[in-house]
């Protein structure tokens, strides 16, 4: 099976991607290729950050690879936390990040938000981008024990539950990462070198 490196240290993300790419690729993460560097995300956009990660792996490990950068954009907070989603409260602690969002939205009626993912894929020296967006609203209280990050307060449009209340299969059908990933999978499928 072909190997594809996913430039992340995050086990949750790795599992999500493995479940989506099962049977097509053996997905390795940074730990699997013995890359223990915390690749600096110094870009000002999701696209720049994703590219920084893939470029690092290609330059240092010479493996085809993809990376995503994603975050939560809340309309009333001028699209914050955005690229700072993972460390919004100055820490990677999900509970503190969620608490800060809820505090900032305390007296705000507009709860519109969207999750956005940009995937950078470098394959045979070429770079490609895939984007996924899912719109929804921010709940006033946490609900559900699944998922990670802001999932317990994000309710996607058209659903009465949060991402954290969905099974991984359900979330994988509609999440921002899933949308970007489906685009990448379709691209990989269409560009498979012929195995004759």
- Domain layout of the chain by residue ranges: 2-190
Q: Would residue 69 show up in a list of annotated catalytic residues for this protein?
A: yes
pLDDT of residue 193: 55
CATH class of 2-190: alpha beta
pLDDT of residue 195: 41
User: Does pTM surpass 0.95?
Assistant: no
Q: What is the mean pLDDT of each run of 10 residues along the chain (196 residues)?
A: 90 85 88 93 95 96 94 97 94 93 97 97 95 98 91 97 93 90 88 53
What pLDDT score does 55 carry? 97
Query: Which residues sit opposite 24 in a β-bridge?
Result: none
Round to whole Å and give the CA distance between 155 and 10: 23
What per-residue confidence (pLDDT) applies to 154?
97
What's the first-to-final CA gap in the chain, in angstroms?
Answer: 15
Q: 17 vs 29, 50, 60, 61, 168, CA distance in Å? A: 10, 15, 23, 21, 11
Catalytic residue among 32, 69, 151, 157: 69
Given this model, what pLDDT does residue 141 score?
Answer: 95
């Amino acid at each position: 099976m072909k190997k594809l490196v996913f430039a992340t240290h995050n086990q949750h993300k790795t599992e999500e991607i493995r479940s989506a790419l099962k049977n097509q690729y053996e997905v390795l993460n940074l730990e699997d290729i013995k890359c223990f560097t915390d690749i600096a995300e110094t870009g000002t956009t999701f696209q720049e950050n994703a590219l920084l990660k893939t470029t690092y792996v290609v330059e240092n490990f010479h493996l085809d690879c993809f990376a995503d950068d994603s975050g939560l954009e809340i309309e009333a907070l001028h699209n914050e936390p955005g690229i700072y989603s993972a460390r919004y409260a100055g820490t990677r602690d999900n509970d503190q990040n969620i608490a800060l969002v809820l505090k900032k939205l305390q007296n705000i009626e507009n709860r519109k938000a969207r999750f956005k993912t940009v995937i950078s894929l470098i394959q045979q020296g070429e770079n490609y981008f895939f984007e996924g967006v899912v719109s929804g609203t921010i709940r006033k209280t946490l609900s559900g024990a699944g998922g990670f990050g802001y999932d317990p307060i994000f309710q996607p449009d058209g659903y009465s539950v949060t991402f954290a209340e969905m099974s991984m299969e359900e979330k994988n059908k509609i999440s921002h990462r899933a949308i970007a990933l489906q685009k990448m999978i379709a691209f990989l499928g269409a560009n498979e070198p012929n195995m004759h």
